[in-house]
Amino acid sequence: MRRRRRTRIVATLGPASSDAETIGRLFIAGADVFRINMSHTSHERLDELVRTIRDAEEHFARPIAILADLQGPKLRLGAFADGRATLAAGSTFVLDSDDAPGDAGRVKLPHPEILQALRVGDTLLLDDGKIRLVATEVGPDRAVTNVVVGGVISDRKGVSVPDTTIPVSAMTAKDRSDLEAALHVGVDWIAVSFVQRPEDVAEVKKVARGRAGVMAKIEKPQGVARLDEIMDFADAIMVARGDLGVEMPLETVPGTQKRITRMCRRYGKPVVVATQMLESMITSPVPTRAEVSDVATAIFEGSDAVMLSAESAAGKYPVEAVGTMNRIAEEVERDPTYRSVIANQRSAPEPTGADAIAAGARDMAENLAMAAIVCATASGATALRVARERPKPPIIAVTPNVATARRLCVVWGVHPIVTPDPGNLDELVERATVTAVKEGFADPGERIILVAGVPLGTPGATNMIRIARTPVR
């Protein structure tokens, strides 16, 4: 099941796509990673989905990654006396701690942490930004606001505070329970929602203890502002454009996406671009031209993966959506300008031996027209450093650890293979050359680049480049 593209595809599972047959069809259509949204998934259902995906993995004899996406703190209003109220632009509206049902003048905000953190002049967005308030008076148990953009508001609609850093953890009690359940069943990646600061990621990593990679979802301005610090802790980043587009001006989101993508490339961390990529395919068998351009732009930027949410989870055409994204990626990567765009975005290697080795491997492989770059990796670090270089030849990651192979399914251009641990360097060379031919990346007699760490099996010890020739029949 060799993919004909470097960009990876993440497909969200849901009511339209959770049975074994559909999961198999999604994988064949191009899904490399399956996302399970813990906002809508019980622990029992999580266990069933993981078992179904692992059965598919065994059937197709290919590693498949599973991403469990934690819900994060959901900030919502209280209830209204009539179930709804109309807020007029220019009027005053109060958010307080009173349990009484709300009306057009006030409503309960059952989040004291927001009231305590608000400052005069801070913006509050209700119902995905449809209603905009600005705080004019703030206190420990109430906030008086001016309605800048009015409209109809109903019970328990969401609240966003783009100007305010809320002093609470990104993990709720539900998230902690979901995290433990996800780690117990062996998911490969954990996505942390509404990350504001590096401590939010560090908290999850402390619980995960290396059992899964931790992906920080950037969907708040506070997370964007502290991205450098967050990047030091996170194993990967997701550009969650839905909430980001609520809390930031819409016109700033594309530039933010580009900056995050390039920063991830510089750090050598995988980046997933998500939300509304093929939104019209929830109800239509074909996407809009604008959606195709949106997906293509993310691929031209060098994103490691692009993600489908409701399109594959609840849409009428989940398999078609994955297939469409697969075809877009293949076509973009065949475009004559793709390689030049990717090369122009390449950062200088970091001043480490591993980065120098990775850059050298890419340079040698391209200049000498090598068939493939084979990375021998225990932890996945070697493959990540080579993938950072975005080489023209394909990347094969050979690893004895199935968990490493699965985790690498989200990384640009990496074709992971699980093989037994080689006993010595000669055995590793033989295994690398045979694998390159067996997997269809090289013909007999062609040359490959082997990148590894010596002594073998030492995590993070990338220190060797070797040119090897594949066996001739």
Catalytic residues: 35, 76, 217, 275
Q: Report the C-alpha gap between 297 and 354 in whole angstroms.
A: 30
Nearest to 191 by CA among 216, 221, 172: 216
Pairing mode, if any, of strands 414-418 and 447-453? unpaired
- Long-range contacts, stretch 45-52, CB < 8 angstroms, 24+ apart: 46/178, 46/181, 46/182, 46/185, 47/181, 47/185, 49/13, 49/18, 50/185, 50/186, 50/187, 52/18, 52/19, 52/20, 52/23
Alpha-carbon span 241 to 252, nearest angstrom = 11
First-to-last alpha carbon distance for the chain, in angstroms, is 23
Whether the upstream peptide bond of residue 455 has omega within 30° of 0, thus cis, is: yes
Length, in residues, of the chain: 473
CA–CA gap between residue 359 and residue 347 (Å, rounded): 10
Integer Cα distance of 280 and 291 in angstroms: 8
